[in-house]
A = this chain, B = another copy of it.
Amino acid sequence: MNNTTAQAATLRELLRTLIRKLGVLERSEAGCCDMTLSQCNALIEVGRAGVLSVNQLADRLNLDKSTASRVSDKLVLDGQLLRQEDPNDRRYVVLKLTERGSQTYANMENRMTAYFEEVMAGVDPAERTAMLRGLQTLDAALNSDSCC
């Protein structure tokens, strides 16, 4: 169907520009916290989850476990994360935010919240729900596809 082809092309183009813009946003955010992007992403995931193992962190970030191990090492060294032994299974490490890490996380959350509220405020109220639903539709479609 010709229509799907054209729509698929439009989708790709929209996603391409979206990725670029969000990439800029992410890097700017990481810069604000004096961290690398990877460290930022790791801190956010631990912040959102409360506690994570190294393997869980790797899964969430789509990284090799060795990479997750190193980035969490760095964050522990910087005082942003705490590494604890799991009392139930000593193979496991439990990663959680330190007090300082919580501050950093809250700072990032606040800035990102403010940013996206601003973005949302720039959208016609009548279109906001439709926009979100569109993203939810895409999310579901990507889930059911075999690549992601």
Contacts and interface: CB of A to CB of B under 8 A. Distances in A.
Contact of A147 (B8, B115, B142, B148): B115
A128 B4 CA distance: 9
Interface string A127-148: 1111111111111011111011
A11 interface: yes
A121 B121 CA distance: 32
A22 interface: yes
B117 A4 contact: yes
A120 B23 contact: no
Of the four ranges (under 10, 10 to 19, 20 to 34, 35 or more), the interface on chain A belongs to 35 or more
Interface stretch (A12-20, A76-84, A87-95): A12-20
A132 B135 contact: no
Contacts of A60: 20
Nearest to A11: B116
Given A8-B120, A124-B137, A131-B137, 10 more contacts: A5-B117, A11-B131, A14-B132, A19-B19, A19-B26, A21-B148, A119-B141, A130-B130, A130-B134, A133-B134
Interface of A: 4-5, 7-12, 14-15, 17-28, 60-62, 112-113, 115-124, 127-139, 141-145, 147-148
